[in-house]
Amino acid sequence: MLALKIGVSLILLALLFSRLEGDRLWQIARGASIAWLAAALLVYGLNVLAAVWRWRILLAAQAVAVSGPSLLGSYLVATFFNNFLPSNIGGDVIRIRDTAGPAGSKTLATLVVLADRVLGLLALVLVAAAGASAAAGLPARVPLPIWPSWLWAGFVAAAMTAAPAVIAPDGFGRLLQPLTVLHPEWVGDRIDRLTGVLTRFRRRPGSIASCFAAAVLVQASMVVFYLMIAYALHLRAGLWDLVVIVPISFIVQMLPVSVNGFGVREATFSLYFTRIGLPIESAVVMSLAGAALMMLFSISGAVVWFARGHR
């Protein structure tokens, strides 16, 4: 699978770079504003703080007390692993390991991280749907690469799938009971723990609402992050263009077909940019600049990792 992902990323990047004009690409990159790139890096830092806050609220809803600095350090290490390992689940392993002790259970820590992921995905689709609907209503717009109705349908379907698990955790647990045929004791114990976690979430609806609001803030801040990069590169990509393309690019990157989204992300940006009359070079530069800034920020996680005494 890793070899296949590397192959897909390399093939897509090779196809994109074969269509680029090297001089124009270098001209866009060379004219980048350091001040705007620094502003983008600051926005990304605020994005991380919002994500840590969301994680802490979910843990508190499960009566798990972990200090903010400890969670921030863990999240930074997770970000480093996500950016420098060929899979974005490496960071989740770090987050689970760091909170399993205070939670008293690896299963509980895993379920909290999974809930964090689900809320993030719901917020991502919501921002994409809202942005696509707003952009489609503007005059003189080119046809969007995806219909807003598809995104809204995806959001409603995901919400209707997730909501019953929190509203009726006992019923959700009964739906999973057939899985106990695989291993009655182990699977049955995990289903019981899952039911308990969902029950505690149901008792704290305010926590779920706050986490979802924080998730929307995180996804919206990524649009601002790329807007700062557009300013830095002097590109004509406006806010409404980025409200559409940024969430969609993150959704596409979730497909397990490439290494950390490389190639797939650049192809998605290129497809949209060419539809709004921008050169493919600007799409590739913006996409790679965003990835580079996120990787640069995540080096702070490596500092935290080695400061803990790991080798």
CA neighbor of 161 nearest in space, from 109, 153, 136: 153
pLDDT tier, 307 (very low <50, low <70, confident <90, very high otherwise): confident
Residue 38 has pLDDT above 90, yes or no: yes
pLDDT tier, 191 (very low <50, low <70, confident <90, very high otherwise): confident
SS3 content of the chain, % helix, strand, coil (to 5): 80, 0, 20
CB atoms within 10 A of CB 136: 15
The whole-model pTM stands at: 0.87
- Please compute the mean of the pLDDT values over residues 6-26 and round it to a whole number: 83
pLDDT at position 87 is: 65
CA neighbor of 4 nearest in space, from 254, 253, 256, 250: 256
pLDDT at position 91 is: 83
Q: What is the mean pLDDT of the chain?
A: 86
Residue 44 in contact with residue 225, Cβ under 8 Å? yes
Question: CA separation (Å) from 97 to 33, 63, 110, 212, 262?
Answer: 40, 17, 9, 24, 27
pLDDT tier, 171 (very low <50, low <70, confident <90, very high otherwise): confident
* 59-71 confidence digits (pLDDT tens): 999 989 899 899 9
- Please compute the mean of the pLDDT values over residues 229-247 and round it to a whole number: 86
Residue 144 has pLDDT above 90, yes or no: no
